[in-house]
Structure 1
Amino acid sequence: MTTSVRTRLSGSWRMTDWKVFRGEEELDPPLGPAADCAGLLIYTNEGTMSANLTLLERPPFADGSLDGGTQQERADAYRSVIAYAGTYDVDELTEAVVHHVEIATFPNFVGTDLTRTCIFEDENTLKLDTPPMEMGGEWLGSYIRWQRTGTEGQ
């Protein structure tokens, strides 16, 4: 019996790799090299999802209050994180997951559907291929590789 894509997705995942492509050329993702980033992706059984990507090294604001930070500190913080959440559906035939974005750091994502092709490299490693997205004025393909949490080092 084959396990459904939805069942296989359910749980939490940590980012292990992130690549952007211009044809055959590899480029750094928008936040910088994958080795300098961290990510967490969560899919619930109820159909809710959350994706968070960030630089590992983010300087704290000089003013530590929640509404603090200079305009430059806030701009730098915004440039160092990509996060969104909402609901999701799975197309079992094409093995694609569609994220229905409800909230996001990038306002243009809100109200959109983001489709990702699921490639399960093994039961604990997930590669999500992204259709070309506009980055730096170009349409570039990408993928993010995720490791199921709790399976690091297995």
Structure 2
Amino acid sequence: MSTVAEARQSLIGTWSLVEYKAVRADNGFTSHPMGPKAQGFLIYSPEGFVSAQLMEPGAPEFSDADIGGGTKDELYRAMKHYLAYCGRFELEELDGKVLVKHHMDVCSFPNWLGSSQERVIKLKSNMLEINTDEPVLHGGYFQHGYLVWKKSQSTFDTC
């Protein structure tokens, strides 16, 4: 992508998760923190907002149909299978890399609330790679996160 403005325009829309992997900074071991079949959506709006939803399929249903219910164990397992956040986003170029900053206005991981998560992006046709430049603590290890997204096509006609 030649400019931040072009990168921003290319980001706008809905992206489906293709792969989420993590590589340990100390030994290069690769894992899939949300399993090998992780699912998710990443949405960038023209107004400058981002919404990210990631989940590991397979969380068991709650024993109670009450959306506000769930045992402590059920709530724990559901939380371990899901990450969600939204807020504003901005782009900048640094040392030839395009960086996206996601501002955590709402987040299922409370430690990120009010922070900004900075990631390196690479856009190629209808594919988006988002990577951590610096390792992030996950599962007790500092790891680099690598996420691959595919641009979703609308099934609706525009008005």
**How far 1:49 sits from its partner (Å)?**
0.4
For structure 1, the residue ranges without an aligned partner over 5 or more in a row are none
The correspondence of residues 28-43 of structure 1 with structure 2, limited to 5 A, is 28-29=32-33, 31=34, 33-35=35-37, 37-43=38-44
Q: Deviations over 1:14-48 (max 9, x none)?
A: 0001110024321221x2x232x101000001000
Q: What is the RMSD of the two structures over their aligned residues, measured on CA atoms?
A: 1.8
Range with bigger deviation, 46-55 or 135-144: 135-144
Q: 1:113 — aligned with what? A: 116
CA contact 1:5–1:92 (8 Å) conserved in 2: no
- Cα deviation, 1:58-104, whole Å, max 9, x if unaligned, reads 22111111111111111111111011111000014531100011111
Instruction: Give the match for residue 157 of structure 2.
Output: none
Taking structure 2 as the reference length, the TM-score comes to 0.86
Which of 27, 31, 35 is the aligned partner of 2:31? Answer: 27
In structure 2, C-alpha distance between the alignment counterparts of 1:146 and 1:111, rounded to whole Å: 25
**Inter-partner Cα distance in structure 2 for 1:68 and 1:128:** 35
Determine the C-alpha separation between the residues in 2 that align with 1:9 and 1:47. Answer: 10
Equivalent residues of 1:84, 1:102 under 8 A apart = yes
Cα distance, 1:136 vs. partner? 2.2
* Secondary structure at 1:118 match in 2: strand
Q: Which runs of 4 or more aligned residues in structure 1 lie more than 4 Å from their structure 2 counterparts after TM superposition?
A: none
TM-score normalized with structure 1 length: 0.88
Instruction: Give yes or no for contact 1:84–1:101 (8 Å, CA) kept in 2.
Output: yes
Equivalent in the alignment of 1:128: 130
